[in-house]
Amino acid sequence: MSFGIYKQGQGYWTRIMSAIGGGLLIAGGAAWLWQELSVVRVPRLWTVTLPEAGALGSLAPGAAVNVLNGAGDRIGGGTVREVLDGGSKIVLGGITDDPTVSEVAQLAAGSTTAMIGSPQTQALFEVTYLQGAAAGLLMLIGAIMVYWLVYLKRGTSDFLIATEGEMRKVNWSTRREVLGSTWVVIAISVIIAAILFIVDIGFSTFFTKIGVLESTG
């Protein structure tokens, strides 16, 4: 496929306006996608503090743990990402079932359970990064598609060039002709409205006289 503009210089305005229209559609789609992705829940890292080092035994990165509430019921699971401060702090990732911070009260590793303080959470990345990447990718792909359709694809380009050629043949009315036609339409509309008003009154009077309609007076 050649990347040179097909029939460069021809169909200038139809190509420009088509590209602008396509760009507006793509921008609208990118704005819609940005809004839709604003509700995406980004995975979080959880940092929990144990009552003492080794309270859950010897944990290593990759070990699986269960997340419990105050009553000891399982409300999720996770994987150890990092062990800090000699084992008194654990960084968890991949928490399942998406529990809230206020629900989490205990951790269990195997048969060992330990109470924990209020966890601290941190998103792996800002959701705006995801929104920007998705919207930017959509706009880039859309721009390439519009450029290909308007300036490279022969069938589309020929159609736009022919359209501009036909538009140049159109005999546009002068300002005087447009004003004259407008006044004629207004006058005819007023005359028709007046005739219909008179006919309506005549029929209303006739049917009132013969008793078909009740008199409003």
What are the boundaries of each domain within the chain? 12-37+127-168, 44-123, 174-217
Lay out the sheet containing 89-93: strands in order across. Answer: 112-115, 106-109, 64-68, 74-84, 89-93, 44-49, 120-123
Q: What is the pLDDT of residue 181?
A: 94
pLDDT at res. 217: 58
pLDDT at residue number 161: 93
pLDDT-above-90 percentage for the chain:
46
**pLDDT computed for residue 207 by the predictor:** 86
**pLDDT digit string, tens, across residues 124-161:** 888 999 999 999 999 999 999 999 999 999 999 999 99
Contact (CB, 8 A) for 150 and 156: yes
The pTM is what? 0.63
N residues, the chain? 217
User: Taking CA 198 as the corner, what is the angle to CA 194 and CA 203, rounded to the nearest 5 degrees?
Assistant: 145
pLDDT at 43 over 90: no
User: Is the pLDDT confidence value at 2 over 60?
Assistant: no
Measured CA to CA, the distance from residue 111 to residue 89 in angstroms comes to 19
User: What dotted CATH number matches 44-123?
Assistant: 2.40.30
Task: Give mean pLDDT, residues 186-200.
Answer: 96
Average pLDDT, the chain: 89
